[in-house]
Amino acid sequence: MSKNAENWLVHYEELKAYVEATGHFPSKHTALSNWVKYQRKRMKAGTMPEQQRLLFLKLSESRGVAAVDADAEDDGGNLFLRP
10-residue averages of pLDDT along the chain (83 residues): 94 95 89 95 96 93 58 39 38
Buried residues in 45-83 as b, exposed as e (16+ CB within 10 A): eeebeeebbebbeebbeeeebebbeeeeeeeeeebebee
**49, amino acid identity:** P
**19, amino acid identity:** V
CA distance 81 to 60: 10
- Predicted model pTM: 0.73
Maximum Cα interatomic distance, the chain, rounded to a whole number of Å = 35
